[in-house]
Amino acid sequence: MANLLTMQFCATLRKPGNLKPLRSTSTALTSKRSYSSEDREYLHKSIVPTMHYQKSLPRLPVPKLEDTIKRYLAAQRPLLDDDQFSTTEKLARDFENGVGKQMHEELVAQDKRNKHTSYISAPWFDMYLSARDSVVLNFNPFMSFNPDPKTEYNNQLVRATNMVASAVRFMKTLRAGLLEPEVFHLNPAKSDTDSFKKLIRWVPSSLSWYGAFMVNAYPLDMSQYFRLFNATRIPKQGKDELFTDPKGRHLLVMRGGNMYVFDVMDRDGNLVKPAEIQAHLKHILSDPTPAAAHPLGLLTSENRDTWARLREKLLATGNGEVLGLVDSALFCLCLDDESMNDHIHISHNMLHGDGTNRWYDKSFSIIMAKCGNAAINFEHSWGDGVAVLRFQNEVFKDSTENPLVNPGSQPAAVDSASAVRRLQFNLDAELENGVIKAKENFHAAVSKLTIDAMQFMKGGKEQLKKKKLSPDAIAQLAFQMGFLRQYGQTVATYESCSTAAFRHGRTETIRPATIHTQRCAQAFVQQPGKHSVEQLIGMLSECSKYHGQLTKEAAMAQGFDRHLFAMKYLANSKGQDLHSLYQDPAYAAINHNILSTSTLTSPAVNLGGFAPVVPDGFGVGYGVHDEWIGCNVSSYPERNVHEFLQCVHKSLEDIFSVLEGKPLS
């Protein structure tokens, strides 16, 4: 069945315009729902139970070892000279025919013993939770909301109230099993219909995936969703832990570094009246308490072992109860006193801010600026973009289409002073010094980060699809061309792709730097007069086809990165010596991702971003829209992000000129 899935799914992915990672897929803003305006407790009531497909999802396949080695060497070829490649090829063949065969067999055997999960799930959690670097810049990304189309609803208090209410309704819908399952519809006219849903709901959950498959629909893994709410990453020495307490009924609100809690659900689990939520938030926004002298949120930006030690100190000095309220809160709402000036300001504020008004360890935070600009910043160890984007889509849709308060709404006449509790912490000199040191470290780190954005307005998805080219492939090619123009080389490049089509799938890596992109980039950048328009268009087509193949393989869990990582993890866990393949400088280099890229487009999302994953890298968030292409890129001082974006823009201009039949000048 897995082979059949691959064939069917990939047949569709071959079509231009469909070549995109699954992470960008969400039904939240398009599907039809049964929604009752009388029922304020739920977003909708899905005909099909939320987790109906989970039990029958296909298992994440372990690739064949020979395929992994073949793909690994293909990805290495454009990064190495002939002598380097010859060395790497010998090491890879030795691995394939020797110890690698044994490691692969052990991994397959272990996978068969753990049929409830995937072979990558535990190692991936372990990788994230064992990392000792700060989660800020190194792991937490952000995705900003588009403004509410009704401008008067972008008031900070009104929008925060509506988003909190929508978020609680999402949580209640999810926990009641009424949230529509996440499904990748390849033929929505057949599968995204009430008649199909009424039929499939009666198919046993152990078989339901096959029923969806028969109509070209692919349910996605939803195992991460339960960690969206009441969840926090807890710092521990050596390895952190994920904490979840679904009994919490309260919201954590931060303003001016002060922390507040109040219940957003009553004792029966019903949503508190929106006018009461509005009153409580208004109380917090008008609280005259000065900004916190030692804002504890800064500690969550520290090195994880440092933070673990200080957290133990916090517990020892009598702060256990208030820390418990922080950890068990539904989520964190950060009310900022600053208005945003432009996209760059938004990116810096939503990615890191000043460190004082954030609790970076919460599974996610909704950040609401004074001007009503909003974003989600999320901790990455518990889950990937699929779950967060679905949540963001639903909250945007519900809060804009079904707002529960409006600009003329009066907050309820309730005693907010009693309902809202400002959390107070006992801090001794060591803890105060810890906060001061955390602030110094935080500012030293974020002061090195530069962010710039670019919009290419001369073409986008529609034009590229007409030319039978993959929009994602052309965007990635522009990054390769841009880097070659700026620095004269081809470097390790990472594009994230979701494997949520499989049970407990996480992500796989697409490797966009290929011999095809290298050849094409050299032709455009270094030999502009040497090739005819027809030859250049032929090269663009080759790049598109090969990138399409890589995307299909990654979506079907047929990359090489996770397989090699899992075998390395297994060897380390058994105390075995690593094969020379893993000691090869070329292996280190291909995992030193100078171009780290991720794409998403959604009607709910304005822009997203993240920091580079290496000091000499770029963090490239991008979206290919119908008529334009946008990039939001970050860098540290070793790279010039402004020049890089100029080079990417020039590359896109050249590509679209050639597609119009104009020769390169």
Q: List, for residues 227-241, the tens digit of each pLDDT value.
A: 999 999 999 999 999
Alpha-carbon gap, residue 454 to 456, rounded angstroms: 7
Three-class SS state of 379: coil
Give the mean model confidence (pLDDT) for residues 611-624: 97
Q: Is the pLDDT of residue 29 over 80?
A: no
Q: What is the pTM of this model?
A: 0.93
Q: Which of 155, 418, 417, 407 shows the shortest CA–CA distance to 283?
A: 417
Q: Inter-axis angle of helices 156-175 and 385-401, to 10 degrees? A: 120
What DSSP state is assigned to residue 170? H
Three-class SS state of 331: coil
Give the mean model confidence (pLDDT) for residues 546-554: 97
Q: Is the pLDDT of residue 8 over 60?
A: no
Predicted local confidence at residue 270, as pLDDT: 95
How many CA atoms within 13 Å lie on the side-chain side of 629? 29
Three-class SS state of 545: helix
Predicted local confidence at residue 665, as pLDDT: 76
- Compute CA distances 321 → 244, 314, 490, 577, 590, whole Å: 16, 11, 53, 45, 46
Give the mean model confidence (pLDDT) for residues 283-290: 97
For every residue of 285-326, DSSP letters joined together read HT--PPPPSS-GGGGGGS-HHHHHHHHHHHHHTT-HHHHHHH
Q: Is the pLDDT of residue 441 over 50?
A: yes
CB neighbourhood size of 97 (10 A): 12
H or E segment and range at residue 525: helix 515-525
Predicted local confidence at residue 303, as pLDDT: 98
Three-class SS state of 385: helix
What percent of the chain is predicted at pLDDT more than 70? 94
Alpha-carbon gap, residue 587 to 589, rounded angstroms: 5
Give the mean model confidence (pLDDT) for residues 149-160: 97
pLDDT band, residue 37 (cuts 50/70/90): very low
Q: Is the pLDDT of residue 27 over 70?
A: no
Give the mean model confidence (pLDDT) for residues 295-316: 98
Q: Is the pLDDT of residue 258 over 60?
A: yes
Q: Inter-axis angle of helices 320-328 and 304-316, to 10 degrees? A: 130
Domains and CATH numbers, the chain: 65-116+450-660 (3.30.559.10), 138-177+229-447 (3.30.559.70)
CB-based contacts of 206: which residues, under 8 Å, 6+ apart?
55, 56
Predicted local confidence at residue 134, as pLDDT: 98
Answer yes or no: are the C-beta atoms of 505 and 221 closer than 8 Å. yes
Predicted local confidence at residue 6, as pLDDT: 37
Q: List, for residues 370-385, the tens digit of each pLDDT value.
A: 999 999 999 999 998 8
pLDDT band, residue 18 (cuts 50/70/90): very low
Q: Which of 496, 536, 531 shows the shortest CA–CA distance to 619?
A: 496
Exposure string over 390-414, b if 16+ CB within 10 A, otherwise e = bbbbbbbbbbbeebbbeeebebbeb
Answer yes or no: are the C-beta atoms of 26 and 182 closer than 8 Å. yes
Q: List, for residues 93-150, the tens digit of each pLDDT value.
A: 999 999 999 999 999 999 999 999 999 999 999 999 999 999 999 999 999 999 999 9
Q: Is the pLDDT of residue 17 over 60?
A: no
Task: Compute the radius of gyration of the chain from its Cα atoms.
Answer: 25
Q: List, for residues 414-432, the tens digit of each pLDDT value.
A: 998 999 999 999 999 999 9
Give the mean model confidence (pLDDT) for residues 206-234: 96
Q: Is the pLDDT of residue 306 over 90?
A: yes
Predicted local confidence at residue 385, as pLDDT: 85
CB-based contacts of 464: which residues, under 8 Å, 6+ apart?
16, 17, 470, 471, 474, 624, 659
Q: Is the pLDDT of residue 19 over 60?
A: no
Predicted local confidence at residue 546, as pLDDT: 98
Give the mean model confidence (pLDDT) for residues 336-356: 96
Answer yes or no: are the C-beta atoms of 239 and 126 closer than 8 Å. yes
Give the mean model confidence (pLDDT) for residues 569-584: 95
Q: Which residue has the tokens 């950060």?
A: 334
Q: Is the pLDDT of residue 621 over 80?
A: yes
H or E segment and range at residue 487: helix 471-487
Here the tokens at position 272 are: 């508190």
| Number of helices (H), then strands (E), in the chain | 24, 18
Answer yes or no: are the C-beta atoms of 132 and 304 closer than 8 Å. yes
Q: Is the pLDDT of residue 35 over 60?
A: no
Q: Is the pLDDT of residue 23 over 60?
A: no
Exposure string over 151-172, b if 16+ CB within 10 A, otherwise e = eebbbbbbbbbbbbbbbbbbbb
Q: Is the pLDDT of residue 34 over 70?
A: no
Give the mean model confidence (pLDDT) for residues 319-338: 98
pLDDT band, residue 341 (cuts 50/70/90): confident
Predicted local confidence at residue 466, as pLDDT: 96
pLDDT band, residue 5 (cuts 50/70/90): very low
Selected catalytic residue, list 44, 294, 352, 380:
380
- Compute CA distances 592 → 494, 588, 650, whole Å: 9, 6, 26
504 catalytic? Reply is: no
